[in-house]
Amino acid sequence: MTRILTVFGTRPEAIKLAPLVTALQAEPSVQHTTCVTAQHREMLDQVLATFKITPEIDLNVMKPNQALADVTSAVLSGVCDAVERVKPDWLIVQGDTTTAFAGALAAFYNKVRVAHVEAGLRTGNLYSPWPEEANRRLVSQLTTIHFAPTRAAADNLLREGTDPSSICVTGNTVVDALQWVDHRLSADADFSRQSHEPFKVIDRSKKLILVTGHRRENFDGGLARVCQALARIAERPDVEVVYPLHLNPNVRAAALSTLGNRPNVHLMEPLHYAPFVALMRMSHFILTDSGGIQEEAPSLGKPVLVTRETTERPEAIAAGNAKLIGTSIAEIVAGATDLLDDPGVYSRMSRVANPFGDGKASQRIIERLLR
């Protein structure tokens, strides 16, 4: 039996690893253990419930107003204990979170091989996104197998001198997750009805703009400008804005102070993954600083305006599905206006073509781990 310990803690990690965890649990030659750090407690639990995953180890590290150093040390200590208990042959981490970095470091301290899912993403700017760019670079130094989602990500690793034999291009597991939920929404009437339940208040005759925002790099004024731009856009009578709010107090304060009393702006609590996919399907376009949404939206043909100065997912920009607009009020309003009023712009950005994968990434990862 190959012993595999998978460690994750945030909502995006859980979504992207859920298809892999489910497949590993069903693999007869694998003894699999799931360890969650609960870096995002409530939002993590929503994803676990959607995919029916029950972690064997729950570190529950988060406390109010923790500094990054506190989170890092708590995850490092907790995962070290988990490694000593499970004695895995492989430890899997995903992406660029503090959980991913500290989990990989815990594996290194215990001389356990690290498999990095979604390896090789780079912006070239150590402080953008912060701290994610540093986390992903540090994880790469501790990794035995790099599961790159795209050829471009693999090329980033090669330029840094990574052994080519340690790189495996798989596609992104988020496409696996999205396809699973998208299929259920189409095939299961009860599942679809429950997933659409939160959106009865939305006027479906109008164009729906879906908004998300949570990046630390935007806490110092960026989120406030995004909300001011949304207030201007919401003056139009033909739009509805839906903004599921991250639980971080910085995000909620910026949104509530600027958008809290507008009848066509719906500020919602964080959504389970299936309702969120349903909301993406309903949307006209998406305004976001999320990396995962940049990867998901092309499969649904939804244009994405990215409220960041840099992106480690240039494939969506190159394919024309996404546009990098930063947090300038004028740029956000202009980008939204183009998608609302110019059919040519909308048509070019809404083609269904996903450069990030075909839904078979988890299968490729398992085949390489067990080779």
**Which residues are marked as active site?**
96, 118, 132, 214, 216, 246
**80-87, long-range: CB within 8 Å, 24+ apart, which pairs?**
80/106, 80/109, 80/110, 82/5, 82/7, 82/33, 82/35, 82/57, 82/106, 83/5, 83/107, 83/110, 83/112, 84/110, 85/57, 86/3, 86/5, 86/33, 86/35, 86/57, 87/3
- Confirm if 231 and 243 have CB atoms less than 8 A apart: no
Strand ranges inside the chain, DSSP E: 2-8, 30-36, 57-58, 90-94, 113-117, 145-148, 167-169, 207-211, 239-244, 265-268, 285-288, 304-306, 322-324
Q: What value, to the nearest 5°, has the Cα angle with vertex 318 and ends 143 and 17?
A: 35
Task: Give exposure, 277-310, as e/b (b: 16+ Cβ within 10 Å).
Answer: bbbbbbbbbbbbbbbbbbbbbbbbebbbbbbbbb
Rounded to whole angstroms, the Cα distance separating 193 from 347 reads 29
Angstrom CA distances, 168 to 25, 39, 120, 132, 269, stand at: 22, 28, 11, 22, 37
Residue 295, token pair as written in the block: 């990867």
Contact status, residue 55 vs residue 86, Cβ threshold 8 Å:
no
- Closest C-alpha among 98, 57, 3, 61 to residue 106: 98
Cα–Cα distances in angstroms (integers) from residue 314 to residues 152, 173, 176, 257, 321, in the given order? 9, 17, 20, 33, 10
CA dihedral (17, 19, 25, 31) positive or negative: negative
